Chains A and B, each alone.
Chain A
């Protein structure tokens, strides 16, 4: 058999050895497909597990427990001698609202001994007084009247209601005592305690109390940071890409620039944060914690990515377009601004949006320029102190209070929704304006 020759083509395919080889090749292909499926299956499982953990931990944060109380808006507790004085903004802001809430709780539970009053007061949130205040600020005619309203329950009561606190645990191992559990049961029975949709979580300011904490400052902060980032990175990125792609001579200097841009795209983001701290904060004296400084840092970080994306889409425009334009008498600048850049714009925009999405999810460099601060007042511009969404997630994850566990996961969900929207926009733009030559 050593000197076997192949006489016909059919021998090649039908001989026993050939059949065996064919079978082995099919088997190899099947195995390869199986590896691929396993890889995808692994990725999908990991993703599902991740999302499931976040959603199952976080969905409860969108509901917040409230307690219905009847508050007497006591004119005695508002400073001022005449009714007009009592209605002034300052008097209303500094009145003893919390005292009114406590008095109404005392009236609601008259049989609680004096020594246990503190536990009753701790059933409602520290922000309950502010809720009453805001109501009266919007309608000063309520002074002297009795109002029924829903105030937020303390986070511990909220956790109890959501089942995160074991009520059968020994008293020294749970944050609510027997008295408070009895009051809770009484409130549930009479229908004065309900979980309501938590608008405050989306449009409220941050707080040190989990039941009051909201994301609005972080959302606004992220918005301003991205506006600054886009305003700086987009024009610089597009101009750099156009020059490198259309005008730059091929020599060792442009090669050097090109290599550097590619390397910069791979520099860890924290390095840009250190640069921002040293240059923008310490040298130029930009305000700490401001979206302005944060946006510049993120712009530096996303610039290389945007340049690379923009160059790729400029290169995808066929040379015939340029040649035709120049052949018809257009100048080089006209050929570029009238034809090449518009045709490359969908690709440039897609790259820009993806770079922005990347910037939205970035936290490390921003923490170095002080954007990990506790900020309550909503920033009115890029120079006010602010924080951003991923940093907010990080901060809440480190808080000791149990109530912040669900807030952390819920904040991740909000961040993911924003990212999803940005990526969807990128896909939409690509599909809508995509051109094939």
Chain B
């Protein structure tokens, strides 16, 4: 068993390793990267798409919106992904990278997601405004006319009508698209009427002052695993959590959401654009890969179809808030015509 064992091991190693490197890299399977918020919707479409049997099931990877854009814009060719999920619109910088690398981008809005401030079921009602959330979570808030490190420890320091409850909010880390949207939809709006912030003349400094979230323990970055936030909320009388509407929707028996500016988050209020903290979700298609990787355009067609993203579609069951039918259909036509994105502001 001696020399033979060696010989066999070596032959096996060579047999397995060599063809691997030698094999040309054709690809007959769509690759999708990007946002973890859009991930559950894209996997559902991918599965349904594969089930129809015309093409192989796309491989979907969750890398976060920013990470996905980096991979997507890296170039054209089978080693680069065909789609990327995004929980926000592509930024100008990302678009420029794409253009520089010859990537033609087709933007596809697939629906909406809301961001909820959630609490355990038994907790008291807690109607919030975005300004109050800003005062609770901003790094610096005005005290006697000057911006100082946020001194607010309990909710009743922000508004005397609130209970004496410690401020503890669990939310997404900076790498997450949900965090970007939260800053844009809540923090940036919440500081609008603060005189001391308006007094900052440099727009970049003003944006920074608005969007900075405190790091003294009142806001806890809970990582990308929302199940952990749910667990924490159900066991704590003080913690509140920030996450996507679809996650809240699947865990309604354990958590409730607080109305923002008097409007509760629901499928209806989000699709009617009444609920203030909602955002569109996107997938981006690489136009250069249409006709190169089998099924690229057909995948977009499935994603935008009535049975998927429609009002009663299967994505709705998973918590995606559908667009109005007319909007979606006209968008679908422009996607099917492969209308390439030409500029991003």
Contacts and interface: CB of A to CB of B under 8 A. Distances in A.
Interface of A: 90, 93-94, 118, 122, 126-127, 130, 165-166, 169, 172-175, 205, 207-209, 227-228, 231-232, 234-235, 238, 285, 287-289, 292, 337-338, 341-342, 345, 370, 372-377, 382-383, 385, 397-402
A222 B31 CA distance: 20
B226 A400 contact: yes
Interface in B273-301: none
Nearest to B57: A376
A234 B11 CA distance: 12
Contacts of B20: 228, 292, 382-383
B79 interface: yes
B5 A345 contact: yes
B257 to A, nearest CB: 11
Contacts of A287: 25, 79
A377 B56 contact: yes
A362 B23 CA distance: 27
The 7 closest A-B pairs by CB, nearest first: A93-B53, A376-B57, A400-B250, A373-B61, A374-B60, A231-B13, A208-B43
A235 B6 contact: yes
Contacts of A382: 16, 20
B215 to A, nearest CB: 24
Interface in B42-57: 43-44, 46-48, 50-54, 56-57
Contacts of A172: 252
Given A118-B312, A289-B61, A372-B61, A166 B253 contact: yes
B225 A126 contact: no
Interface string B46-74: 11101111101101111000000000000
B10 to A, nearest CB: 5
A429 to B, nearest CB: 13
Interface in B1-24: 1-3, 5-6, 9-10, 12-13, 16-17, 20, 23
B9 A400 contact: no
B314 A126 contact: yes
B100 interface: no
B47 A208 contact: yes
Which bracket fits the contact residues of B? 35 or more
A93 B52 contact: yes
A342 B16 contact: no
B182 interface: no
Contacts of B226: 398, 400
A145 to B, nearest CB: 22
A232 B13 contact: yes
Nearest to A242: B6
A373 B83 CA distance: 14
Contacts of B62: 372-374
A93 B224 CA distance: 37
A209 to B, nearest CB: 8
Given A208-B44, A376-B47, A398 B52 contact: no
Contact of A235 (B13, B51, B60, B312): B13
B59 A285 contact: no
A376 B55 CA distance: 12
A81 B335 CA distance: 32
B253 A231 contact: no
B54 A93 contact: yes
Given A94-B54, A166-B253, A234-B9, 13 more contacts: A90-B53, A173-B121, A175-B250, A231-B17, A287-B79, A288-B61, A288-B79, A289-B61, A341-B2, A373-B62, A385-B29, A398-B225, A400-B246
Contacts of A166: 253
A173 B252 contact: yes
Contacts of A175: 250, 252-253
B31 A288 contact: yes
Contacts of B39: 374
Contact of B227 (A173, A372, A398): A398
Contacts of A165: 253
B40 to A, nearest CB: 6
Contacts of A370: 61
B317 interface: yes
A342 B4 CA distance: 11
Nearest to A341: B2
A377 B57 contact: yes
B313 to A, nearest CB: 11
Contacts of B334: none
A127 B5 CA distance: 47
A382 B23 CA distance: 11
A69 B341 CA distance: 48
Given A118-B312, A338-B2, A373-B60, A208 B318 contact: yes
A64 B247 CA distance: 24
A292 B312 CA distance: 41
A267 to B, nearest CB: 23
A400 B29 contact: no
Contacts of B164: none
Contacts of B48: 126
B125 interface: no
Q: Which of A231, A234, A400 has the most CB of B within 10 A?
A: A400
Nearest to B77: A285
